[in-house]
Amino acid sequence: MPFLIRWLIAFVLVAATWNPTPWNFTRWALDTGTTQLPVTVLAGLILLIGWIIYLRATLRSIGPLGMALVAAVFAALIWVLVDYGIIDISDPGLNAWLGILIASLVLGIGLSWSIVRRRISGQADVDDVDVE
């Protein structure tokens, strides 16, 4: 359940930043950013904080290579689904949502990886050590 919550927050973060519908920060900021500049800046800063938290945790946990491998696994899964005719990628909107899904899964796995590794191996991660 904790992974599901982390992934859902990542999905909301990615989809709120941009998605193929008119309901996203990027479209809203481009359309009304100058008329509602303080609200646009506030919303942009909140999204930026979310991105920094998720990207920093993901980079520290699985690193760039791990991010690429996780993305490649999900891209290969989509390739298999396309090859078997389960999904049709001729729709650009579906492709965009698949990209959002993959990005959110990479971030969700990255944020949860330390917990998974600790449960599998029994070893705790220690990033910051106070030395006196």
pLDDT tens per residue across span 19-39: 999 999 999 999 987 899 999
C-alpha 8/C-alpha 10 separation (Å) is 5
Q: Identify the pLDDT of residue 125.
A: 62
What sign results for the dihedral spanned by CA atoms 80, 84, 89, 95?
A: negative
Q: Identify the pLDDT of residue 90.
A: 95
Q: What is the mean pLDDT of residues 6-13?
A: 97
pLDDT tens per residue across span 48-86: 999 999 999 999 999 999 999 999 999 999 999 999 999
Nearest Cα neighbor of 100 from 9, 14, 8 is: 14
**Dihedral angle of Cα 62, 64, 66, 67, to the nearest 10 degrees:** 100
Q: Identify the pLDDT of residue 132.
A: 56
Residues in the chain: 132
The tokens for 100 are 């959002």
Residue 121 has pLDDT above 70, yes or no: yes
* Coil vs helix vs strand at 125: coil
With tokens 């999900």, the residue in question is: 74
Q: Identify the pLDDT of residue 128.
A: 53
Of all residues in the chain, what percent carry a pLDDT higher than 70?
93
Mean pLDDT score across all residues of the chain: 91
**Dihedral angle of Cα 75, 81, 86, 89, to the nearest 10 degrees:** 40
